[in-house]
Structure 1
Amino acid sequence: MRLPLLFMPIAIFGWKRSPDVALHRCVVADFLSNTTLTEMDLAVDTCQRRIIVPGQFSATAPLTNRDEAAKARKIVVNRTKIHMWKDNIPWGTYFIRYAQPEEDEEGNLTLRITGQSLEVYPYLRKIRTTLNYAGMDQLDIARALLNNMASRPESDIGLNLMAGLSGVTRDRTYKAGENASYGTRLEQLANVINGFEYMVRTVLDPDTDQLRYDWVWGYPTLGSPEVVRDITQPGHIKSWAMPQDGTEAGNAWQTMGDTLNDDLGTPSEPVMSLVYEDAARLAAGEPLLDRTETYSSVKLQSTLNAYAQQLRDTRSGPVTVPQIRVRFDDSFSIDPNYLGDRARFTLLNDYYPLDDTGAPTFSRDWRIVGMDLKTPKGEDQEASAELLFEGAT
């Protein structure tokens, strides 16, 4: 499932440190060498994990004395990363891309930082030499891209690449002149029909007691299909939302690729896929909504057809991506390593009451595809997380 990328810094102004703000243990390390530089307690505002795409991170360090300020100076933009911990679980590792030390009119010193999870790094590296892969398993292509990205010591971030094959072979050519990033090509490779999912997990190695970074994949999806968590209201649900978004949807899809004409002196047109329509939606009364997506490196119509079919099958019609905020306690815990697992989501409230037989009118299964840690503030001292689910109309 593709979620939008957000790379803009998150600036939060007017913040004043409060004793009621919960702090999280964060370990600051050098991005490449993984050398620990210091440890800080941060007020974490945003802490996301996603499948395929990067999760966002933003936090504020209250600099209450000279020692804390010295620790904060060890955080250097584009040089350091932060391991965010919840209890004894590494919630994620984030590449720091923005930092702002400041002092307010009352003399309160703070450092504001933002970054993205390790999935961001391939988006920050461009493919500088043409790469050709013929008849290779799509996961071998993915690993080849990541290994090529890490071929210089200045770009080796220590990913442990999960082995195995999907059984699906692809032909891919990635030209240096296309100015595409490794992240973009990985995302496109995964999001074609019969593709796969991946993410980077920060885990504590039981043998070395050190953190490691595992690039893991799932075919066709991540997660354990046999595991279904029951999440209910009343119960562990604190709040919920059901946004229905049709802005990126269509019911007639076509994809556009590269041009076949290398003669710059003659007119040329790009290769186009066939048009794939969602016949069921049109028959049910939806107006025709055309969408075209561009895949600049593709010259084979068969590959473009596969992309268009995948778009028709996954992005036709409005998408509902349920957002559930859950509380933690001794009987219920969840962390980003559960992304891809399923949950049975049951609501009981005035909008979704019991039916005439006493059964809930809303009880559905969805895959967990995103997770945002919520920091308790003020009187709300319960640890919680917002879960994002794969959509269904």
Structure 2
Amino acid sequence: MAFYRYQFCDLVTDRPIADLDLTGVSFDRRICQPGTFSGSVAVTGPETAERVARVVGRSDGDLGRGPGRTVVHVWRGDQIWGTYLIWSAEPKSDNRGRVTVDLSGASLESYLYHRQIRTDLTLAGADQRWLARELVRRMEEPRPIGLVPVTPGEPPDPEIPEESGHVDVAAAEPRSITYRASDAVSFGEALEDLSSRVDGPEWMVRTVVRAGERVREFVVQDQMGQDRTDHVFTQPGNVVAWSYPADASGAATSWRARGDAPDAAPEEEAEPVLSRTWSDPRFEGAGWPLMDRTVDVPGVTSPAALDEHARWWAARSSGSVRFPQVTVRLADRTTLTPDRLGDKARLTLVNDWFPLVRGSPSFSRSWRVIGIEVTPATRGQGEDTATLIFEEPPDTEPGAEEP
């Protein structure tokens, strides 16, 4: 059984505060968005109460501790599987007088959504990965939390933006971004905007140990992970449960993106800027009905940028959307860790729904793992389990229609 340690530290300084024995723990990590954390600690006496109070505080006037300024490093063996900012804590007692404290939070990516771009910002004609790193560098001012922007295999802080090989399809040149202070856009929203365009970069925050020191890295790549399939999950075998839902409740086959209205004279009423209409040609050939969706993209007035958003949605979410999930047992020395998100994993299922066909599995596919939710072993459950969220890639590039 893998050993877990929950180390609580100050968000800004990373100074250790206390280690707590938690129960009912669940935590997850995802690409390009925050993951969640939850757990509880039983207060069994004054010493335990004091240790917990150093983490969560006891009153409103206790400004030196508590939610909003405390993180927990989740150690699995000698690796940190995630760093989570504690956003809420609830001490409570049951009818027998037993006191527990429930903790919940989100991974360090959530902090990016709590910092706003407070001055007008334009970054023009730069590589997409450099744009993401520059947003984080600016967010770190004036009170840093120690995020180090890096792209694996490249210098962490180049003086000149490097080329990633990606060219803006609509503009045939490196990308540019503009945000006004009046838009009150958070840095997390700006990064989300950058990554939700066609061929937009992927990013995540990870805490690694280098030379005995914890380092918080903001990692950005054109695509996280590797294509080589090292992680294999099978049923029968290490697969505990699976689901393969198809959801058409938000289905569309025709997509537009709607931005903000351009600046205009006070007496004029400007209309929001719209992208062209984009569709996935696979669905036209399959006889799908026409279903329209318009996606709002606040703060964007560039038709080319809006086209990228509409193309991204047409490629990712046309028709009935499928997001396969599987729950697996994790070995003590598992090859798949939260820092390996983006890797491909092979899933092979043999059951009544996916039977053998001529002696071979009818379901055996490799997908990118874009999310992982871990449930550590407990007394009632002797093995760690993880729910994997896969990405099913689109087969074709969406086509444009004239407005």
Shift of 1:330: 5.1
Distance 1:334 1:299 in 2: 41
Q: Secondary structure at the match of 1:267?
A: coil
Q: What is the Cα deviation at residue 282 of structure 1?
A: 2.4
> Offset at 1:324?
1.1
Given that 1:23 and 1:41 are in contact with CA atoms closer than 8 Å, whether structure 2 keeps it comes out as no
Q: Give 2:265's aligned amino acid.
A: D
Q: Secondary structure at the match of 1:317?
A: coil
| Secondary structure class of the residue paired with 1:217 | strand
Amino acid at match of 1:111: V
Q: Does the 8 Å contact 2:231/2:335 carry over to 1?
A: no
Task: Give 1:159's aligned residue.
Answer: 147
Cα deviations across residues 244-302 of structure 1 (Å, max 9, x unaligned)? 22233321000112223411322221111110122320231211111111223222212
Q: CA deviation at 1:333?
A: 4.3
2:158 alignment counterpart: none
Q: Report the equivalent of 1:15.
A: none
1:24·1:42 contact (CA, 8 Å) conserved in 2?
no
Q: 1:300 aligns to what?
A: 302
Aligned 1:176-215 pairs, distance under 5 A: 176-205=181-210, 207=211, 209-215=212-218
Q: How does 1:115-126 map to 2 (within 5 A)?
A: 115-126=105-116
Equivalent runs, 1:22-171 vs 2, <5 Å: 24-75=4-55, 76-153=66-143, 156-163=144-151, 164=154, 165=162, 166-168=164-166, 169-171=174-176
Are the counterparts in 2 of residues 203 and 214 from structure 1 also a CA contact under 8 Å?
yes
| Aligned residue pair count | 366
- Distance of 2:176 and 2:341 partners within structure 1: 29
* SS of match in other structure, 1:280: helix
Q: CA deviation at 1:377?
A: 4.1
How far did 1:367 drift?
0.5
Does the 8 A contact of 2:132 with 2:220 survive in 1? no
- Percent identity among equivalent residues? 35
Match in the other structure for 1:10: none
- Residue 339 of structure 1 corresponds to 341
- State how far apart, in whole Å, the 2-side matches of 1:74 and 1:282 are: 60
| Contact 1:123-1:181 at 8 Å conserved across structures | yes
Please tell me whether residue 251 in structure 1 is matched to residue 253 in structure 2. yes
Change (3 A) 1:305 1:370: same
For the structure 1 residues 37 and 332, does the alpha-carbon distance in structure 2 shift closer, same or farther, using more than 3 Å as the test?
Answer: closer
Secondary structure of the structure 1 residue equivalent to 2:132: helix
Amino acid of the residue matched to residue 238 of structure 1?
A: V
1:372-383 correspondence to structure 2 within 5 Å: 372-377=373-378, 379-383=380-384
SS at match of 1:231: strand
TM-aligned CA distance change 1:74 to 1:23, over 3 Å: farther
What is the TM-score of this pair, normalised by structure 2?
0.87
Q: Retained in 2: the 8 A contact 1:319–1:392? A: no
User: d(CA) in 2 for partners of 1:229 and 1:25?
Assistant: 25
Q: Secondary structure at the match of 2:336?
A: coil
Q: Paired residue for 1:216?
A: 219
Counterpart-to-counterpart distance in 2, 1:331 and 1:126: 40
Give 1:151 deviation, angstroms. 0.9
Kept after mapping to 1: 8 A contact 2:230/2:335: no
> Would the alpha carbon gap of residues 227 and 359 (structure 1) be closer, same or farther in structure 2, given more than 3 Å must change?
closer
**CA apart distance, 1:344:** 1.0
- Output the CA distance in 2 between the equivalents of 1:379 and 1:271: 56
Kept in 2, the 8 Å contact 1:189–1:195? The answer is yes
Q: Aligned partner of 1:215: which letter?
A: F
Equivalent of residue 282 in structure 2, options 280, 283, 288 = 280
Offset of residue 317 of structure 1: 1.7
Deviations 1:99-148 (A, max 9, x none): 00111111211110110000111100111100011111112211111111
The one of 267, 270, 273 equivalent to 1:268 is: 270
Counterpart Cα distance in 1 of 2:107 and 2:142: 21
Q: Deviations over 1:323-374 (max 9, x none)?
A: 111112357443101100001110011111101x101111111101111111
* Among candidates 226, 239, 264, match of residue 241 of structure 2: 239
Which runs of 5 or more structure 1 residues have no equivalent in the other structure? Answer: 1-21
What's the secondary structure of 1:265's corresponding residue?
coil
Q: Determine whether 1:290 maps to 2:280.
A: no
- Alpha-carbon distance in structure 1 between the residues aligned to 2:370 and 2:10: 29
Cα gap change, 1:104 to 1:331, in 2 (>3 Å)? closer
Distance 1:39 1:328 in 2: 24
- Distance of 1:147 and 1:140 partners within structure 2: 10
Checking the alignment, whether the CA contact within 8 Å between 2:115 and 2:186 is kept in structure 1 is yes
Query: Which position in structure 1 is the counterpart of 2:157?
Result: none
What SS is found at the alignment partner of 1:308?
A: helix
Equivalent in 328, 331, 338 of residue 330 of structure 2: 328
RMSD, aligned α-carbons: 1.8
> For the Cα contact (< 8 Å) 1:319–1:391, is it kept in 2?
no
Tell me if the contact between 1:24 and 1:44 (Cα under 8 Å) persists in the aligned partners.
no
CA distance in 2, matches of 1:61, 1:380: 18
Q: Is the 8 A contact 2:229 2:346 kept in 1?
A: no
Letter in 2 for 1:288: L
The one-letter amino acid paired with 2:359 is G
Once residues 177 and 54 of structure 1 are traced to their aligned partners in structure 2, the CA distance between those partners, rounded to angstroms, is 25
The answer (yes or no) to whether the contact 1:134–1:172 under 8 Å persists in 2 is: yes
Unpaired segments ≥5 residues, structure 2: 56-65, 155-161, 167-173, 395-403
Deviations 1:174-223 (A, max 9, x none): 11011111100111101211211010111121x2x12211111221x100
Moved more, 301-310 or 177-186: 301-310
